[in-house]
Amino acid sequence: MAIKTYIEAIRETLAEEMRRDGSVIVLGEDVGKKGGVFLATDGLWAEFGDDRVIDTPLTESMIVGASIGAAINGLRPVAEIQFADFIAPAFNQLVNEAARMRYRSNNGFGVPMTVRAPYGGGVHGALYHSQSVEAFFAHVPGLKVVIPSTPHDAKGLLRTAIRDDDPVLFFEHKKMYRSVRGEVPDTDYTIPLGSAAITRPGSQITVIGYGLMAHYALEAAELVADEGIDVEVVDVRSLRPLDKATILTSVQKTGKAMVVYARRRSTTSTVRSPGSPARTSPGCPTTTSSRTGSWSTPRRSRTASASSRHTDRRGPRLTGGRAAEPS
């Protein structure tokens, strides 16, 4: 088993899927000769040529809209939105078209399309190269939203996304591209969407995260382990479908839940938070939950931090500022 970076896993998966299935094409801005601004598609153009690796004009709505059409007519497009911050012009095509096509046609049409986008901050990106936009899309029935945190998961989940018969938004935290390495099997493994991973077993509190925050959660767990707090970390890996069973089973065990994300706290005061099953499930004994996200400003904070911790005041047994107190 080889050690690979996160972006190597993405790049290899794209090439392998294109070799495996002639209907897979890649399109987006600078994805051709340049190989993408992060080099996620580097080498694809040289191997697969102009027909299957298409440099588009700067037209995000067209990239997604034409991908929908191409998917309707027998291809499996993998579109790249250069930065997740730039996905807004494609919102209409994603939410009103791709997400609803199968439902509104009573299963007549499907859209087997993957839209990849680098997201997240911590890379000097400021207002427009740092956004975490997954919450917008995780609310939309008909879209799948996947955020892997390791090279292993990136490969297994991207394979599944490309082979999926429905539209999948595949968000890659750009800070992880070259900073996260890990073992990647040489086999053609896949990871089903909607299957969370328990990345650290523990007994006193469940910390739920994804993407870069799944790593920070593990780091934090190690820090508080010295204080005698035994943290279980759940990496949800996909926000839709959401593996409620794994989350709830973990929270039933620990009795406490903390959700960590890089997106803004204010965007998550709705049910589509990974922690929501624990708050809304009548069968779940959880009484304490907490959310940590970034500040509610256009410029996001560099990382989620203790200073931005936010406690959900819906739980009947509030613990105030510190949710991680052992019970």
Question: Of these, 197, 239, 248, 324, which contacts other proteins (CB under 8 A)?
Answer: 248
Q: Give all strands of the β-sheet with 168-173 in edge-to-edge order.
A: 53-55, 24-28, 76-80, 114-119, 168-173, 144-146, 238-240
Answer yes or no whether residue 280 interacts with other proteins by CB under 8 A.
yes
Question: Of these, 18, 44, 70, 84, which contacts other proteins (CB under 8 A)?
Answer: 70
Answer whether 152's CB lies under 8 Å from 9's CB.
yes
Is 129 catalytic? The answer is yes
Question: Helix-strand-coil percent breakdown of the chain, rounded to 5?
Answer: 35, 20, 40
Answer yes or no whether residue 97 interacts with other proteins by CB under 8 A.
yes
The interface region with other proteins, picked from 70-78, 147-155, 170-178, 316-324 by CB under 8 A, is 70-78
Beta-carbon contacts of 107 under 8 Å, excluding residues fewer than 6 positions away, are none
From 129, 152, 173, 215, active-site residue: 129
Answer yes or no whether residue 193 interacts with other proteins by CB under 8 A.
yes
- Contact string 292-311 vs other proteins (x = CB under 8 A): --------------------
Minimum distance of other proteins from residue 24's CB (angstroms): 11
Answer yes or no whether residue 68 interacts with other proteins by CB under 8 A.
yes
Neighbour tally for 77: CB within 10 Å: 27
In which residue are the tokens 């790593």 written?
215
Query: Which pair of structure tokens corresponds to residue 160?
Result: 């599944």
Tell me the number of residues near other proteins by CB under 8 A: 66
Q: How far apart are CA 209 and CA 35, in angstroms?
A: 30
Of 64 and 207, CB closest to other proteins: 64
Answer yes or no whether residue 187 interacts with other proteins by CB under 8 A.
no
In which residue are the tokens 């440099």 written?
55
Q: How far apart are CA 196 and CA 193, in angstroms?
A: 9
Answer whether 166's CB lies under 8 Å from 142's CB.
yes
Minimum distance of other proteins from residue 100's CB (angstroms): 7
Q: In the range 125-184, which residues lie near other proteins by CB under 8 A?
A: 141-142, 144, 164-166
Answer whether 292's CB lies under 8 Å from 273's CB.
no
Q: How far apart are CA 199 and CA 86, in angstroms?
A: 31
Of 110 and 122, CB closest to other proteins: 110
Contacting residues toward other proteins, per CB under 8 A: 25, 51-52, 56-57, 59, 61-62, 64-75, 77, 89, 92-93, 96-97, 100-110, 141-142, 144, 164-166, 192-195, 238, 240-245, 248-249, 252, 271-272, 276-277, 280-284
